[in-house]
């Protein structure tokens, strides 16, 4: 199993993702430069956090036209595992692989802190090792993480079970107080209708060792690894 981590000019979470796979998971991983025309045979592709292309225009708006994105989109459409953390989530919504948009945080401040997210389902490639309703302690670091979509599309997401992670308190209540950015329905992460593309604002790749505050993020990587080694049909989303 090999992970690929895309580096855009302005990415700053690419080494975190790389280190999470290589040193915490002890799995193969390689960097994929944004101008590359080849995914190097990777089984899962990570779009990392950061400020791709300086976040000019809108976060993710320019990155979506980087040459490698054609190949990422093709890979995702053929069922490949694609994960966007933070800025990577913004790139995924801009590129149309995930629905909706990430607006400026409702309080305008850049948020950098540990928060809790609740796992809404476990029959996906990203949460197979979690328990339903499990609460994970994961850091966030973003200024534009306020998930927004049309009311009817949010309803569709909820009905399809595409909301994978929700901001919650330590006991799992998705309360308004636990919502760090104003996201509709406390949405912290969603998957595509087919279930193979994940976008989330929190950073599991920065929570892979207890010494840095939490190792809960490993569960996302372990789930993906298990899925890629023996793919299970994704629950009907």
Find the catalytic residue in 42, 53, 86, 144. Answer: 86
Evaluate the CA torsion angle 169, 175, 13, 230 in order and state its sign.
Answer: positive
| Pairing of β 111-119 and β 135-142 | antiparallel
What is the distance of C-alpha 72 from the center of its chain?
A: 14
**Binding segment toward other proteins, per CB under 8 A, in 143-151, 166-174, 199-207, 210-218:** 143-151
Residue from 91, 59, 102, 97 nearest 188 by CA: 102
212 binds other proteins (CB under 8 A): no
Q: Tokens 């760090």 appear where?
A: 180
108 interacts with other proteins by CB under 8 A: yes
The one among 124, 127, 149, 183 contacting other proteins by CB under 8 A: 149
**Tokens 């802190």, residue located:** 113
Binding window for other proteins (CB under 8 A); candidates: 37-45, 47-55, 79-87, 104-112: 104-112
Phi, psi of 165 (to 5 degrees): -130, 140
User: Quick check: is 205 catalytic?
Assistant: yes
Q: Is 34 a catalytic residue?
A: no
**For other proteins, which residue of 94, 120, 205, 216 counts as binding (CB under 8 A)?**
94
56 binds other proteins per the rule CB under 8 A: no
Span of 35-43, 98-106, 128-136, 195-203 interacting with other proteins by CB under 8 A? 98-106
Q: Please, what is the end-to-end C-alpha distance for the chain in angstroms?
A: 25
Eight-state DSSP code of residue 21: I
Contact 191, 122 (CB under 8 A): no
Residue 142, burial from CB neighbour count under 10 angstroms (0-12, 13-18, 19+): buried
Count of residues of this chain found to bind other proteins when the rule CB under 8 A is applied? 20
Confirm or reject binding of residue 129 to other proteins (CB under 8 A).
Answer: no
Q: Contact between 112 and other proteins (CB under 8 A)? A: no
- Concerning whether 71 is annotated as a catalytic residue, the answer is no
Shortest distance, position 183 Cβ to other proteins, whole Å: 11
Contact footprint for other proteins (CB under 8 A): 57-58, 61, 65, 93-94, 99-101, 103-108, 146, 148-150, 182
Q: Which residues are catalytic?
A: 86, 203, 205
């Amino acid at each position: 199993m090999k992970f690929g981590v895309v580096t855009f000019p302005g990415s700053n979470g690419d080494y975190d993702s790389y280190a999470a796979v290589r040193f915490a998971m002890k799995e193969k991983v390689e960097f994929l430069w944004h101008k590359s025309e080849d995914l190097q045979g990777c089984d899962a592709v990570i779009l990392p956090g950061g400020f791709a292309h300086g976040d000019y225009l809108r976060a993710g708006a320019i990155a979506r036209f980087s040459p490698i994105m054609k190949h990422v989109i093709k890979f995702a459409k053929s069922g490949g595992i694609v994960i966007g953390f933070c800025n990577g989530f913004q790139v995924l919504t801009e590129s149309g692989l995930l629905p909706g948009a990430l607006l400026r945080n409702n309080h305008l401040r850049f948020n950098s802190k540990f928060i809790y997210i609740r796992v809404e389902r476990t029959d996906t490639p990203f949460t197979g090792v979690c328990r339903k309703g499990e609460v994970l302690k994961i850091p966030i670091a973003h200024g534009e993480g306020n998930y927004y979509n049309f009311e009817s599309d949010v309803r569709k997401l909820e009905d399809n079970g595409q909301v994978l992670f929700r901001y919650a308190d330590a006991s799992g209540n998705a309360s308004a107080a636990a919502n760090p950015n104003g996201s509709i329905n406390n949405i912290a992460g969603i998957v595509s209708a087919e279930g193979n593309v994940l976008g989330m604002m929190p950073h599991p790749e920065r929570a892979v060792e207890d010494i840095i505050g939490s190792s809960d993020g490993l569960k996302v990587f372990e789930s993906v690894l298990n899925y890629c080694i023996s793919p299970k049909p994704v629950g009907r989303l």
